[in-house]
A and B are shown apart, each in its own frame.
Chain A
């Protein structure tokens, strides 16, 4: 691991030359039998994997319009070809979004289209051989499902959908990825991705209360499993103990404290993350999300607020209403959703992002800040891919960009933007999203971080930026590891609510 060094910055950020095979055989560890079976997948690669993979593909093509249309519609125009951070960092042509999709499209054409059955060579159709399958495993685990390519595709083809389908097929034949499947097992067994059991979580929160008391003199609470609380906070489990995540958790708690909001965490649903999305498995996605529904019903909360986590916010914002009924507007006869929606307070958005929560309070002058407390920071903001391109905040398209920035500007004096080509919906993935935040993919992660590190270097050089705020647990974990490799201080990355925490006034002193 220590032998992995950062690739050189591009002098002019032009499109790199191709290095075919550069990332061949550099995929992640394969899941063991035990890990796969624990979440209902075959333990090992099944004997009739070929037929079962094709059958699964047919099933997915009939269940997902996205996959069906995306398999047909691509014209190989190349609009996406230079947009993926992994391609830019690795130069492996199979990391171009279109080439990644073509790994599956070639098989689709061979088995599901007339020209591919008749003239495979002509249309680039291939049999699903063991080599092709291994190629799938390798390159579909070098995609972070960040959707940057889909912004630029004239048909909106989203490689994330293709990657998810490929991983779903691989899982269904016993060829799953260790990292994601192990974590999904943990969330079912223990309640969160990090495998932090309830009592340990309770201890951690008590410790936090003491720390904050020592630091501020105020009794900021971190309640858990409180029935009848108004707000249920669902946050990534990294917030409970990882650095710098925990500083944002303290920030949320201070916001609740300063406004006298009654809130609670849940030991059953002590995880916002949902790796079911990463592996493209609807049943897992749903099952993991249902824990939030159960916790909300059991605790009788009126509002559900989600902490700083990118893919979790995409799942919460875009999918929770569908999967669990957390949201609004269910049909009156929809008993499943109505049961929960009747309980929730619809004067507020359900679910609500913690940034929406805080910004709403700031707009209503319910919070006051000592902005000078953040003067040691010259701050920039890294848009997290799933928040930027898979969700929204507030009432208008693009609120997911403005609201976190507005908060930063409300709590700190020094804010600068990175290059406009790399922010908002054009943001680059941190290099660790979508189920690749694992040490066995370290080379991929380092190379995938290159485009973000290049533009960070620019604002460091030009404006002296020394803090990059972000609202994603994976971004925080990935950048904390990447910063030293690229010659930055690891503490340069942190959460938006970490800045809130620094500046918020808790009461009369």
Chain B
């Protein structure tokens, strides 16, 4: 019964996540950028832009320039989250891919560093006057959600074990539309429900910063306005109307 309930929720949340995200990405991609507005100094070629974006996404270059506290905690959180997510691939693949097996030990402890990063960010949000001022309830709740996901996951890993073999067969089954029994553990239920919530709100929340950064004109445009004429659809229209 609980298994079916979770299965349906997983299908719905995944659907919301995928459709919502694709919709957003589509909107970003179709909205014109009429003027050249890279924050300069900016790369003058497409290749340079790819490098700039890579530094931004992998190293958080701009944030590093801005504030070492946010940078270190934010980077620690994101890098740990990436490891943790990759580690979780083992629950969706059979046999487990070689490199996923390889990162398993790092992925396990990344749960702790992820928690550390999140707490560091929350401390800043709670105790630095400026950051508290700009925080909405949802900013705090988002951190609480992620902290709760991390804590419930770590507890299952290191304190109250769950039957991971059964969990894995549930998810493998889910991907074949063949619903398998899920262990009836409270921690597992909490962990999964929170992850479901995160998936579902992703396309409607500030988590859109993830796709958003790739579409940010101040970061993704090449600095070549004198060399190439940049003209978007609606701006072109103005030209044909007046034609002078």
**Known contacts A65-B217, A322-B229, A327-B229; A76/B39 CB under 8 A:** no
A150, A282, A330: the one within 8 Å of B34 (CB): A282
B217 proximity list for chain A (CB < 8 A): 65-66, 69, 156
Q: Is A425 an interface residue (CB 8 A)?
A: yes
Q: Which residues of A in the span 36-66 have a Cβ within 8 Å of any Cβ on B? A: 61-66
Beyond A18-B133, A74-B209, A329-B229, 13 additional contacts (C-beta under 8 Å) are: A62-B31, A72-B208, A73-B213, A79-B63, A96-B130, A122-B136, A147-B218, A151-B62, A152-B66, A154-B63, A157-B216, A321-B230, A400-B40
Q: Is B239 an interface residue (CB 8 A)?
A: yes
A63 proximity list for chain B (CB < 8 A): 31-32, 34, 234
**Known contacts A64-B33, A282-B235, A318-B36; A81/B130 CB under 8 A:** yes
Chain B residue nearest to A102 in the complex (CB): B134
Q: Interface stretch among A267-275, A389-397, A436-444, A499-507?
A: A389-397
Q: Is A98 an interface residue (CB 8 A)?
A: yes
The 5 closest A-B pairs by CB, nearest first: A73-B212, A124-B136, A152-B66, A156-B218, A79-B66
B34, B62, B135, B219: the one within 8 Å of A76 (CB): B135
- Is the beta-carbon distance between B225 and A318 smaller than 8 angstroms? yes
B136 proximity list for chain A (CB < 8 A): 76, 122-124
A337–B235 Cα distance when bound, in Å, is: 13
- Is the beta-carbon distance between A329 and B39 smaller than 8 angstroms? no
- Is the beta-carbon distance between B62 and A79 smaller than 8 angstroms? yes
Q: Interface stretch among A113-121, A195-203, A206-214, A219-227?
A: A113-121
Q: Is B231 an interface residue (CB 8 A)?
A: yes
**Known contacts A68-B28, A69-B28; A156/B36 CB under 8 A:** no
- Is the beta-carbon distance between B74 and A77 smaller than 8 angstroms? yes
Q: Which residues of B in the span 112-140 have a Cβ within 8 Å of any Cβ on A? A: 121, 124-125, 128-131, 133-139
- Is the beta-carbon distance between B208 and A73 smaller than 8 angstroms? yes
Convert A308-324 into 0s and 1s, putting 1 for each residue whose CB lies closer than 8 angstroms to a CB of B. Answer: 00000000011101100
Chain A residue nearest to B31 in the complex (CB): A65
- Is the beta-carbon distance between B131 and A400 smaller than 8 angstroms? no
Subset of 23 A-B contacts with CB under 8 Å: A63-B31, A63-B32, A64-B34, A66-B218, A72-B24, A72-B208, A76-B139, A76-B206, A77-B70, A78-B67, A78-B128, A81-B130, A81-B134, A113-B204, A156-B216, A318-B37, A321-B225, A321-B228, A322-B229, A334-B231, A337-B229, A397-B42, A401-B41
- Is the beta-carbon distance between A329 and B70 smaller than 8 angstroms? no
A18, A121, A151, A328: the one within 8 Å of B39 (CB): A151
A70 proximity list for chain B (CB < 8 A): 216
Q: Is A349 an interface residue (CB 8 A)?
A: yes
- Is the beta-carbon distance between B37 and A66 smaller than 8 angstroms? yes
Q: Is B226 an interface residue (CB 8 A)?
A: yes
Q: Which residues of A in the span 392-447 have a Cβ within 8 Å of any Cβ on B? A: 392, 396-398, 400-401, 425-426
B124 proximity list for chain A (CB < 8 A): 78
Chain B residue nearest to A386 in the complex (CB): B40
Q: Is B44 an interface residue (CB 8 A)?
A: yes
Convert A147-181 into 0s and 1s, putting 1 for each residue whose CB lies closer than 8 angstroms to a CB of B. Answer: 10011111111100100000000000000000000
A396–B41 Cα distance when bound, in Å, is: 9
Instruction: From A151, A349, A351, name the one whose CB has the most chain B CB atoms within 10 angstroms.
Output: A151
Q: Is B94 an interface residue (CB 8 A)?
A: no
B129 proximity list for chain A (CB < 8 A): 17-18
**Known contacts A123-B138, A154-B63, A158-B39; A65/B33 CB under 8 A:** yes
A156–B209 Cα distance when bound, in Å, is: 11
Q: Tell me the smallest distance from the CB of A72 to a CB of chain B, in Å.
A: 4
- Is the beta-carbon distance between B226 and A350 smaller than 8 angstroms? yes
B234 proximity list for chain A (CB < 8 A): 63
- Is the beta-carbon distance between A392 and B41 smaller than 8 angstroms? yes
A363–B241 Cα distance when bound, in Å, is: 44
B27 proximity list for chain A (CB < 8 A): 68
A66, A115, A124, A154: the one within 8 Å of B56 (CB): A154
A122–B144 Cα distance when bound, in Å, is: 14
A96–B231 Cα distance when bound, in Å, is: 33
Q: Is A388 an interface residue (CB 8 A)?
A: yes
Interface residue ranges, A against B (CB under 8 Å):
15, 17-18, 61-66, 68-70, 72-83, 93, 96, 98-99, 102, 113-115, 121-124, 147, 150-158, 161, 282-283, 286, 290, 294, 317-319, 321-322, 325, 327-331, 334, 336-337, 349-351, 388-392, 396-398, 400-401, 425-426
A89–B124 Cα distance when bound, in Å, is: 23
B43 proximity list for chain A (CB < 8 A): 397
Q: Tell me the smallest distance from the CB of B124 to a CB of chain A, in Å.
A: 7
A93–B27 Cα distance when bound, in Å, is: 32
**Known contacts A64-B31, A78-B131; A328/B226 CB under 8 A:** yes
B235 proximity list for chain A (CB < 8 A): 282, 322
**Known contacts A64-B31, A65-B28, A74-B206; A115/B138 CB under 8 A:** yes
Chain A residue nearest to B244 in the complex (CB): A290
- Is the beta-carbon distance between B134 and A98 smaller than 8 angstroms? yes
A331–B28 Cα distance when bound, in Å, is: 26
Q: Is B176 an interface residue (CB 8 A)?
A: no
Chain A residue nearest to B75 in the complex (CB): A154
**Known contacts A73-B206, A282-B34; A82/B130 CB under 8 A:** yes
Q: Tell me the smallest distance from the CB of A454 to a CB of chain B, in Å.
A: 20
**Known contacts A155-B209, A336-B239; A392/B223 CB under 8 A:** yes
Q: Which residues of B in the span 156-187 have a Cβ within 8 Å of any Cβ on A? A: none
A76, A114, A156, A283: the one within 8 Å of B134 (CB): A76
A157–B228 Cα distance when bound, in Å, is: 24
Q: Is B92 an interface residue (CB 8 A)?
A: no
- Is the beta-carbon distance between A65 and B138 smaller than 8 angstroms? no
- Is the beta-carbon distance between B44 and A397 smaller than 8 angstroms? yes
B209 proximity list for chain A (CB < 8 A): 72-75, 154-155
**Known contacts A18-B129, A76-B135, A124-B138; A114/B225 CB under 8 A:** no
- Is the beta-carbon distance between A389 and B134 smaller than 8 angstroms? no
Instruction: From A114, A156, A398, name the one whose CB has the most chain B CB atoms within 10 angstroms.
Output: A156
B32, B63, B243: the one within 8 Å of A152 (CB): B63
A317–B212 Cα distance when bound, in Å, is: 26
Chain B residue nearest to A121 in the complex (CB): B137
- Is the beta-carbon distance between A79 and B215 smaller than 8 angstroms? no
Chain B residue nearest to A94 in the complex (CB): B133
- Is the beta-carbon distance between A334 and B70 smaller than 8 angstroms? no
Instruction: From A62, A123, A161, name the one whose CB has the most chain B CB atoms within 10 angstroms.
Output: A123
Q: Tell me the smallest distance from the CB of A403 to a CB of chain B, in Å.
A: 12
